[in-house]
Amino acid sequence: MKQFLSKGQLSAAIIVTVLLVDQIVKILVKTTMYLHESIHITDWFQIFFTENMGMAFGMELVGKLFLTSFRIVAVVLIGWYLIDIIKRNLKTGYIVCIALIMAGAIGNIIDSVFYGVIFNESTNSQIASLVPIGQGYGEWFQGKVVDMFYFPIVDTYLPNWLPIWGGRHFIFFSPIFNIADSAISCGIIVLLIFYHKELGRAFKEDRRE
């Protein structure tokens, strides 16, 4: 059966789709919800608006400017690698995983680069809105990444008889994330489970070249 899209076109479609959905959801949440406001969907799923200055799932490890710069460099390298594996006609699934990772990285870069200068501050008492460029809550490359998906699948207190952790509040799964984070995670997980041999083979070929 004839392939509807070339591997390059498929990659471009994935990247554009992930970016559009990611940004639409982020802008809707940021411009309609107060910071830390939550919408109860089910007992195990909430839309919970939060922002972070750091890496995926709210981790904050390094300075914001360094992190944003690192992300941009990483995206350039991933983009170069994606073009290379498309030219080498590697497996479609492998290429899709790399495209998902790249799309997710770009999605969070957009927040980091632009949101600080085009939105005013989101607070517990103020819903953010678009403002003229330069009148936002921060500087270029200093924007906060918008997160909203929260899955407290298990929300309980640990039994008192447990050593050290007994009686403590326990939540699984506690990280709050966005569509860009999901794209990165899904790409990496599928890559490692189903395409680890392809990954190793691709890098061996790169070293030989």
C-alpha 53/C-alpha 91 separation (Å) is 36
- Tell me which of 22, 43, 111, 181 is the catalytic residue: 181
Q: Is 84 an active-site residue?
A: no
Q: Is 181 an active-site residue?
A: yes
C-alpha 138/C-alpha 116 separation (Å) is 4
C-alpha 103/C-alpha 18 separation (Å) is 6
- Tell me which of 43, 84, 111, 147 is the catalytic residue: 147
Give which of 174, 61, 167 is closest to 71, Cα–Cα: 61
Active-site amino acid positions:
147, 181
